[in-house]
Homo-oligomer: A and B are copies of this chain.
Amino acid sequence: MSKINQNQGHMTLPVEVGQEDVVLDLYKKWQADALRDSDGTSMPDTLAKQDSDIYSVMCLVRADQQYAYDNPQYLHRKYLMSFPVTAMGETVKISPLDGYSKDKYELDDDSKPKQWWEVRNRTTNQVIDPSQWEVSTETNEVTVYQAVPYHEYTVTFLARQVWDSVSMYNALTNDWDGPRIRSLDPYHPECRAHLLNHFKKWLDEHPNTTVVRFTTFAFLFVIDTGEKNQDIYRDWTGYGETVSPRALEDFAERFGYHLTPEDFVDAGYYNGTYKVPSKRYQDWMTFVQDFVVEFAAELVSMAHKAGKRTAMFQGDHWIGTEPFLESYQKIGLDINIGAVEDGVALRRLTDSGGDQVREARFYPYFFPDVFREGNDPVVESMSNWTKIRRAMLQKPLDRIGYGGYLSLANKFPHFIDHVTEVSAQFGDYLENTQRGESKKITGKVAVLSAWGKARSWLQNQARDQRFYVPPRPDVMELVGNNLLECLSGLPFDVEFISFEDIAKNGINQDIKVIINTGDANSAWSGGECWDNPDVVVELRKFVANGGGLLGVSDPSAWQKNGRYFQLGDVFGLEKETSLTMGRVAMPVSLDKEHYLSQFLTGDEDFGNASYVYPQADDLTVLAAQGQHLALTAKEYGNGRSVYLGNLPFSMENARLLQHILLWLGGNDKEAHQWVSNHPQVDVAYYPKTEKATAVNYSDQEQTLTVLDSRGEQLDITLAPYEWRWIPA
């Protein structure tokens, strides 16, 4: 690749009819090189012929509404479970859609209830024989006969979705008053054929488009909508909206067994991504992925044949095409676009395999929820930019962009200036890094979860998230433990591994530290995956042979054989879950002489009390909240372990994590070049360009000392918010 010249531009600018002058002004200011339309805006004709890339949004499954309205049999369907109804007598009547949006869902009258639905006694978890229940086509009510009084009953039914979730969101949040968009399911060959025709025609009709920006291919992530049209359940990587009787039948043929409605509604838990996935659910994911990848590859190939490049926006109808899936590269896309609000989101974009161009679409989106009188969009943007930069220093990012209504943004001159500055800084970054990766500390850090690589850099929601009402529901703001955000900006090679990886292949030699972080029962901590002695043995062996193990929140949590933490021996501690209340609390005393003690100021935020207590004589307690352990360290064989109660994101916590990982990896003895030990300043070194960089994230002048490339001490003083590039 030839040397990048930032003057060529690196930004995708949203355009809007009537804003042509603004576009031309900002195109230069913001160093744009591409124009895009957005949901709700279109490309002015005069701009479509500029000497720039033209991104055109394509969401094929929403593209032909006439066809969607004419062919309800091809609409998206999903299994919903009725809310449980308690039998107050021997007959129970259940209106399956009670509690769900009638604007969004209809009972699917294209599939036979007795074949495709399921009624269950939820008190005994027995399936009720179809002869014992009836559906009334008049009242849409299910009547269950010979019920057991005071047992609960549910109906799992196929719902047809007559209002697309994104369309609904825009109508309800942004007051759009257009028609209610419906999405089509291309799994049906007839429907697919129609959509391909439509796309072919679209390609012909968009001669100026240079990049087809897919949003996205086939199936939306899961959003369940309640009676008042409010979101009641969301899973950004959930496969719940991919179902059709035809697909289920094909699945059975391929996998040799039939999935049941219960496999989808999962007792009402709906296989949330934060849950440990069942084998059956994983089979279904494979099935869906194979279909979507093949479908998407056909679209991409058509676009390529039409002389256009292709981009995929990671979101919306992206199920089956998440970029960390192995099958993803078969699609043949040219550009990956991710909505990026923090470091984790950036790493989700930059760390997936393949040689796609990586484009970060920044928040805030130019929508009236943020760009309204009295609100300062710069506050959110700066907070994001701090987190994003930490991660950007670790993995190369190629482009940036925005979306939405330019006319809205243009009402905030302070914001326009701010983006000008952001884009200029990004230009400097490209110039100085030449897309090279910064130097990392030796030894990989692996994050162990039930998902492994497939859900790399996905925010690990914790229980606290459920009790946090964010100001904007569409933007992820993770509260509580957030180790991944801390990790996203640290100079370590990171990979994500699963329990299956370990059970099948053991632990790779290049891994120096393994992290297990998450709430008990979650896919992140691992839940029932810990019910496997082989995994436990592999990890004990890994540590005993010199590895490092970091546990956060509920690492290895699985109640069995007298332990709640299955690796409690390695960590030297245990969690109180009401089974050891007779054990006597001992006053905890803090070790001030440990290597890690020097990095503790007492200002760290370890989140909620851990309910974890010491259970080894040689456990070193570094921090506690009362008697609740917050940070501990232990030697185990030739290796080391650390436990952290919680690690919410802060610059201080992130730097503490760096020190912990250095200690766990046995890297605490040697001095590292171009590594910061200052919480507010990041430092990175780029071997490709032989340049180092230092960023001050604070509004104060900061000074730190680093080792330079010759191993000599270098004092750096940075002005508030200064980002400096240093020949090294």
Contact = CB atoms under 8 A, between A and B. Distances in A.
Interface stretch (A49-57, A134-142, A536-544): A536-544
A575 to B, nearest CB: 9
Contacts of A84: 562, 569
Interface stretch (A269-277, A496-504, A657-665, A683-691): A269-277
A521 B627 CA distance: 22
A2 interface: no
Contact of A123 (B268, B518, B536): B536
Contacts of A577: 463, 520-521
Contacts of A617: 99
A231 interface: yes
B150 A536 contact: yes
Contact of A274 (B149, B267, B268, B582): B582
Given A88-B544, A533-B124, A461 B233 contact: no
Contact of A581 (B151, B463, B563, B584): B463
For chain A, which range describes its interface: under 10, 10 to 19, 20 to 34, or 35 or more residues? 35 or more
A609 B609 CA distance: 11
Contacts of A518: 578
A536 to B, nearest CB: 6
Interface string A556-588: 000011110000010000001111111111110
A9 to B, nearest CB: 39
A569 B518 CA distance: 29
Interface string A389-422: 0000000000000000000000000000000000
A613 B86 contact: no
B230 A586 contact: yes
A611 B541 contact: no
A375 interface: no
A280 interface: no
A587 B469 contact: yes
A272 B581 contact: yes
Interface in A482-515: none
A555 B395 CA distance: 48
Nearest to A518: B578
Nearest to A560: B125
B230 A584 contact: yes
A628 B149 CA distance: 32
A599 B404 CA distance: 50
A447 to B, nearest CB: 17
Contacts of A587: 469
B562 A267 contact: yes
Contacts of A201: none
Interface in A246-294: 267-270, 272-275
A346 B587 CA distance: 30
B544 A150 contact: yes
A467 B613 contact: yes
A267 B560 CA distance: 9
A122 interface: yes
Nearest to A579: B269
A221 to B, nearest CB: 10
A714 interface: no
A99 B615 CA distance: 11
B235 A582 contact: yes
Contacts of A626: 467
A637 interface: yes
A467 B628 contact: yes
Contacts of A86: 540, 569
A292 B377 CA distance: 76
Interface string A27-67: 00000000000000000000000000000000000000000
| Interface-centre pick from A232, A581, A617 (highest chain B CB count, 10 A) | A581
19 contacts: A86-B569, A123-B533, A123-B536, A152-B569, A230-B584, A230-B586, A232-B584, A233-B583, A234-B584, A238-B582, A269-B562, A269-B579, A269-B580, A461-B582, A462-B581, A463-B577, A466-B613, A467-B627, A468-B585
Given A234-B584, A268-B562, A473-B584, 8 more contacts: A269-B580, A272-B582, A463-B578, A466-B581, A466-B583, A467-B627, A522-B581, A525-B578
What 3 A-B pairs are tightest by C-beta distance, nearest first? A267-B562, A467-B627, A268-B562
